[in-house]
Amino acid sequence: MSGTEPMTTTTSTTTATQAEPLLRVRNLVQEFVSRGPGGIKTGVVHAVSDVSFDLLPGETLGIVGETGSGKTTLARSIIQLDRPRSGEVVFQDQNMVGMSKRQLKKIRANIQMVYQDPFGSLNPRWRIEDVVAEPLLGYTRMNSTDRRARVRDLLDMVGLNPDVFLRRRPMELSGGQAQRVAIARAIALNPKIIVCDEAISSLDVLIQAQVINLFEKLRAELGLSYLFIAHNLATVKQVSDRVAVMYLGQLVEIGPSEQLYRAPRHPYTRMLLDSIPILDPETGVAQRPVALEGETPSPLDPPSGCRFRTRCPLAQDICAQVKPALTENQAGHSVACHFPLEGMFRSAAERVDSQHA
């Protein structure tokens, strides 16, 4: 891809809204024991608490939230890198929770992950040919000639010239090139789902645009579904059909991308949108974003009731006493709030759209 390649500015639609979910996550809980000096238990980290959602065929579901909201832990729990404490993760009618390692190996051929740091996910001693061929060795009976041909095709699919890159090592690549190699490896087995864990956050803006376009190209060509985890709300809006907002291990809002950005129902979602920095279109001067107020509580001791109540300007007594359920207020748009916001919030969409105008 050339360095002048524009970023795709429209979120592709999916006809999957009538289809059965490809992935069902139900009441997922992930907790870790915190230990102090001498291994003494000091508490329990409530990293993911009662999270439920569906991922449809051909859909990109964006997952956003502040650092420490549980996004990466959720992703790792879904693919069973960290076995969840309870709940269900159902892929094509098979519950992955409780599966043996052998059973999980078969499922993981269909659910692959692209990480934030491409260099950290690539063996520095291997040549690119060996990196991309690794899943083919583990899951197929291809001979060396067929593997090499497949690797060449994969590199070509992600925009890397095989004649140039096959014999290189990761240290000889730029960040964008290394991430393309990681993507080639992820699609080697023709998976159904790609989990992107902050997959573009370590790249500069121009390369981010190119990689986003690559993700969209592969989705169209291969029929992929994505869980797209990021903290950049503008980027998430660009690529997602729906967006789920996480706060302190829980989903507080989920809905169609355009609807959620133009009319957020949860106070936390609106605060996140207010925090997006923008340029004044007339003066070109940067406008200072509205900072999120208050400190995020510790997941060792989350607040009772609504976990956002300690930072919420709308909080009342009931918010401390009763946990709000994630309830559908509009078709396909759910919010976990006792006092959901009403009306349009046009400045949110304007903030996001201005970054890609």
Q: What is the pLDDT of residue 234?
A: 82
In a domain, 3, yes or no: no
**CA triple 222-226-227, angle to 5 deg:** 165
328 domain residue, yes or no: yes
**Both structure tokens of 307:** 């976990």
Question: What's the confidence (pLDDT) of residue 7?
Answer: 42
In this structure, what CATH number is given to the domain that contains residue 300?
3.40.50.300
User: Is 118 a member of any domain?
Assistant: no
Q: Residue by residue, what is the 3-state secondary structure of 43-101?
A: EEEEEEEEEEEEECCCCEEEEECCCCCCHHHHHHHHCCCCCCCEEEEEECCEECCCCCH
Looking at residue 18, what is its pLDDT?
59
pLDDT of residue 206: 87
pLDDT number for residue 187: 97
How many C-beta atoms lie closer than 10 Å to residue 249's C-beta? Answer: 25
- 160 in any annotated domain: no
Q: Which two tokens stand for residue 227?
A: 């869980």
Residue 165 lies in a domain: no
Task: Evaluate whether residue 269 is within a structural domain.
Answer: yes
Report the alpha-carbon distance of residue 17 to residue 314 in Å, rounded. Answer: 34
Provide the domain count of the chain: 1
Is there a domain that residue 117 lies in? no
The pLDDT of residue 240 is 95
Strand order in the sheet with 225-229: 111-114, 193-197, 225-229, 60-64, 242-247, 250-256, 333-335, 327-330
User: So what's the pLDDT on residue 283?
Assistant: 67
Which structural domain, as residue segments, surrounds residue 298? 19-110+191-354
CA 158, 163, 168, 172 torsion: positive or negative?
negative
Neighbours of 280 (CB within 10 A): 10
Do residues 43 and 301 make contact, with C-beta atoms less than 8 angstroms apart? yes
**Angle subtended at Cα 55 by Cα 201 and Cα 182, rounded to the nearest 5 degrees:** 35
Residues of the chain with pLDDT under 70: 1-18, 278-292, 343-357
CA atoms within 13 A on the CB side of 308: 31
pLDDT attached to residue 2: 38
- pLDDT of the residue at 231: 84
The whole-number pLDDT of residue 336 equals 97
Asked, for residue 38, whether it belongs to a domain, the answer is yes
pLDDT value of residue 344: 58
What per-residue confidence (pLDDT) applies to 94? 94
